[in-house]
Amino acid sequence: MNKQELDFKISLQNNIGLIKAGIWNGTPIGMTFGGTGTKLVPVVGGVVVSASDKLEIVGPGVSGQMLVSAGSSKSPKWVDAPELPKPGNWGSFWDNTNQPAVANVPQAMLLCVTDPASVGVFTAEGSKVYFETAGVYNIQFSAQFKNVTNNVVHDVTIWLRLNGVDVPDTAGFVSVDGQHTSVPGTAIVSWNYMMSLAAGDYVELWWHNDHADLSLATLPAGTSPVHPVSPAVIFTAQQVMHTQATSILGGSGGVTSVNGLDGVVTGIATTAGNLSQFGATTSAQLASVLTDEIGTGRAVFATNTTLTNPVMTTPTLGIAAATSVNNITITAPVVGATLTIDGGLLFRASGTDITLNGSGLASNVTLPSTGTLATLAGTETLSGKTLSSVILGTPASGTLTNCTGLPNSGTTASSTSSPDTIVLRNASQDTAVRDLGCRDTNASRNVNCDTLNAVSLVSAPAVAATTSVTINGKVLDTIATNMCLTLPAGKGIIPAIQIICPSAATSLSNVNTLQNAFSPTGYDVISVQALTTYMFDGQYIIGSGTTSHSTAMSFALNGGATVNNVTCTTLTTAFPTIGTSSTTQATNLFISVAGGVCNAANTNATCVIKFEGIMRINASGGTVTPQITFSAAPGGTNQMLIGSYLKFYPIGANTVNSVGTAII
């Protein structure tokens, strides 16, 4: 290079070279000597960065990206900026009124003013603070109390409710000084709660005091010196926002650097994910990472699965603790192969059939509803088993004995009677005396039963004692064309009339609530049949205390009993003492089992209620319990005295209009 070239391209000033123009074709000048170390090409929006002894230009990113360092040995990278945290929800509320209270009566603190800038937290119904978003919230409050009782300290309790329910361990207790020198005692209290709340939850502040002179008070603004109003209640709630260091995510959801890999790294598995994050995994690969497996082979799923030589020790098949196994298919078993089931029974393979062998069938065995049940090997007994909805068909032979609950409907072989008719044959048509039971027209069939309905006698039984039929110890004799039921002496007939008549005074309770008229239990009810009309009468002789009271009577229906209608008239007399006459009487008419009051309140010690009526029972029978009610506890000793009774007797169906005719 000659001097002319130096004058053209470089000038020296104070031993410093300045490049004025031209093209530098020599070795790049390093940054140590003021150069760039490389040939730079300007890029609009690019960023110049240093790398070793040279400068580089990182091209511009796209809108919304940010430049992130990749470490000291690599150039920074443009990545999508992460979403900035959203501000947490908060709310501020207060009340600038006075809130009086009734002593010892809990009430909610009212909040009448809301900060309009509140976000996600709002009030409703005066006291409830609602939260739109789930999260942890710091709840703070202050409450100002005023006591106007002279020189007497009053106490107040404050606590928190969540969704209308008291929150445990949230109560606080405060004592407020009494009024002194005409100045009310005041106290302002404040604390906070940290609560995890669900979306839609609401909280309330509740309080109660020990005296009406203690109230929540708003104190006015001051004038000298000047100060603002002091609200009665201030309530704030602020969502707690958890923060932590996080990786900067790339544009497609990857991180910027993992184990030295830069740029957007994707396909990262997390501990919160399941195995679907990974590629397809074979049974062998899965077995290689398991350490406590049992057996060998492949993983098995429920559908279309074949288990080869499995060994199951006390397995539970089907549902837990199952008592039956359904839909098992045994394909081509080896002859002689067996499957042991409950009670030592065996499913045994013989040829193409499977037979059930053993000394007896296990309980709860379910027989197939269709098809043919395999022949039992040997002689098997179904003992103590219940067969439901079984059709026996027409067996060639056999004996059915000691069976109960057989229906009297339907037809059987050799039966010529109608389904609901029982036909009784006389002795001449049977070769031996037979127990009378549910028998069809074939006299050889005989099945015992307890009740005979719609019995027909055929073949014109002869008039003779030998044609009599014995029914449970009673003799049904043939007399001319009629049959006569002869009862052995001393047997009697179950009485149709039912009477409660205590042989001694029975206790009544000293209460003003409903109670049974008679006791003890078991001797205080009347049994009634469905669709039956009953006439009844009786008298209650009641000894009681002398506290003024009236007496009401009623009937309680139990056991499903219902009535069409009830009519009852009463005549009630009150006596100061037994043996003293009385002209104080009252009458009444009742048209329901609820009855009503029989007399006016009085202080007499003895009351006699005579009554009679008719009760028609509806389609359901049951029991009727006579009951009474004192209008006030009488005091003293209360008894249903001897001589009291209740009589019920049936007169016909519940639609009966008359009974009997005149004797002519």
Residues 631 and 519 in one domain: yes
CATH number, domain containing residue 528:
2.60.120
Q: In this structure, is residue 469 part of a structural domain?
A: yes
Rounded CA-CA distance 500/517 in Å is 10
pLDDT (tens digit per residue) in 326-365: 555 555 556 666 666 655 556 655 555 555 554 444 444 4
Q: In this structure, is residue 516 part of a structural domain?
A: yes
How many domains would you assign to the chain?
4
Computed over every residue of the chain, the mean pLDDT equals 75
Residues 64 and 181 in one domain: no
The pLDDT of residue 644: 96
Residue 176 has pLDDT above 60, yes or no: yes
Last residue of a domain, one of 465, 486, 507: 486
* More confident: 277 or 228: 228
Q: In this structure, is residue 560 part of a structural domain?
A: yes
∠303-305-308 over CA atoms, to 5°? 160
The pLDDT of residue 16: 59
Mean pLDDT of the 127-140 span: 96
Full domain range(s) for residue 65: 3-80
Q: In this structure, is residue 502 part of a structural domain?
A: yes
The pLDDT of residue 465: 43
The pLDDT of residue 253: 44
What DSSP designation does 566 have? E
Residues 536 and 602 in one domain: yes
The pLDDT of residue 294: 72
Residue 427 has pLDDT above 50, yes or no: no
CATH number, domain containing residue 203:
2.60.120.40
Residue 522's pLDDT band, with cuts at 50, 70 and 90, is confident
Residues 127 and 218 in one domain: yes
Residue 205 has pLDDT above 70, yes or no: yes
Residue 230 has pLDDT above 70, yes or no: yes
Residues 443 and 578 in one domain: no
Specify the pairing of strand 233-239 against strand 135-147: antiparallel
pTM over the 0.75 mark:
no
Residue 292 has pLDDT above 60, yes or no: yes
Residue 75's pLDDT band, with cuts at 50, 70 and 90, is confident
The residues, any chain, with a CB within 8 Å of residue 178's CB and separated by 6 or more, are: 147, 149, 150, 151, 152, 153, 154, 185
Residue 472 region by backbone torsions, left for phi larger than 0, else alpha for psi between -120 and 50, else beta: left
Residue 643 has pLDDT above 90, yes or no: yes
Residues 108 and 222 in one domain: yes
Rounded CA-CA distance 310/325 in Å is 17
Please answer whether residues 648 and 624 qualify as being in contact, where contact means their C-beta atoms are separated by less than 8 angstroms: yes
Residues 126 and 17 in one domain: no
The pLDDT of residue 17: 59
Residue 260 has pLDDT above 60, yes or no: no
Residue 245 has pLDDT above 90, yes or no: no
* More confident: 513 or 18: 513
Least reliable range by pLDDT among 26-40, 313-327, 391-405: 313-327
Sign of CA dihedral 499, 502, 507, 508: positive
Percent of the chain with pLDDT strictly greater than 70: 60
Residue 322's pLDDT band, with cuts at 50, 70 and 90, is very low
Residue 87 has pLDDT above 70, yes or no: yes
Q: Of 634, 648, 612, 632, which Cα lies nearest the Cα of 542?
A: 634
Residues 581 and 514 in one domain: yes
pLDDT (tens digit per residue) in 375-384: 444 444 555 6
Mean pLDDT of the 519-530 span: 88
As a residue count, the chain comes to 664
Classified as helix, coil or strand, 283 is helix
Q: What count of Cα atoms within 13 Å lies in the side-chain half-sphere of residue 510?
A: 10
Residues 153 and 200 in one domain: yes
Q: DSSP labels for 479-507?
A: ETTEEEEEPPTT-----S-EEE--SS-EE
Least reliable range by pLDDT among 174-188, 429-443, 579-593: 429-443
Least reliable range by pLDDT among 259-263, 396-400, 520-524, 634-638: 259-263
Rounded CA-CA distance 664/661 in Å is 9
Q: In this structure, is residue 482 part of a structural domain?
A: yes
pLDDT (tens digit per residue) in 537-581: 999 999 999 999 999 999 999 999 999 999 999 999 998 888 888
Residue 24 has pLDDT above 60, yes or no: yes
Backbone angles phi, psi at 465, to 5 degrees: -65, -25
The pLDDT of residue 200: 96
Residues 479 and 539 in one domain: no
The pLDDT of residue 561: 95
The pLDDT of residue 6: 42
Please answer whether residues 109 and 209 qualify as being in contact, where contact means their C-beta atoms are separated by less than 8 angstroms: no
Residue 98 has pLDDT above 80, yes or no: yes
Q: In this structure, is residue 641 part of a structural domain?
A: yes
Residues 131 and 177 in one domain: yes
Residue 168 has pLDDT above 60, yes or no: yes
Residue 432 has pLDDT above 90, yes or no: no
Q: In this structure, is residue 55 part of a structural domain?
A: yes
Mean pLDDT of the 603-632 span: 95
Least reliable range by pLDDT among 4-8, 214-218, 369-373: 4-8
The pLDDT of residue 32: 74
Residues 533 and 644 in one domain: yes
Q: Tokens for 409?
A: 């409907």
* More confident: 55 or 52: 55
Please answer whether residues 17 and 28 qualify as being in contact, where contact means their C-beta atoms are separated by less than 8 angstroms: no
The pLDDT of residue 417: 40
Residue 321's pLDDT band, with cuts at 50, 70 and 90, is very low
Ranked by mean pLDDT, the top range of 1-15, 28-42, 94-108, 258-272 is 94-108
Last residue of a domain, one of 436, 462, 486: 486
Please answer whether residues 558 and 625 qualify as being in contact, where contact means their C-beta atoms are separated by less than 8 angstroms: yes
Mean pLDDT of the 440-466 span: 47
Rounded CA-CA distance 114/136 in Å is 21
Give how far the C-alpha of residue 521 lies from the chain's centroid of Cα atoms, to the nearest Å.
Answer: 35
Last residue of a domain, one of 21, 46, 80: 80
Count of other CB atoms within 10 angstroms of residue 617: 24
The pLDDT of residue 247: 46
The pLDDT of residue 284: 74
Rounded CA-CA distance 188/590 in Å is 66
Mean pLDDT of the 41-51 span: 79
Measured CA to CA in angstroms, residue 39 lies from 11, 35, 36, 455 at distances of 22, 10, 7, 126
pLDDT (tens digit per residue) in 122-131: 999 999 999 9
The pLDDT of residue 318: 47
Q: In this structure, is residue 42 part of a structural domain?
A: yes
Measured CA to CA in angstroms, residue 101 lies from 147, 162, 213, 217, 348 at distances of 12, 22, 8, 11, 85
Percent of the chain with pLDDT strictly greater than 90: 44
Mean pLDDT of the 394-412 span: 55
Residue 447's pLDDT band, with cuts at 50, 70 and 90, is very low
The residues, any chain, with a CB within 8 Å of residue 233's CB and separated by 6 or more, are: 94, 95, 99, 109, 110, 111, 141, 142, 143, 144, 205, 216
Residue 408 has pLDDT above 60, yes or no: no
Residue 62 has pLDDT above 90, yes or no: no
- Dump strand ranges (E) for 412-503: 422-424, 455-457, 469-471, 474-479, 482-486, 498-500
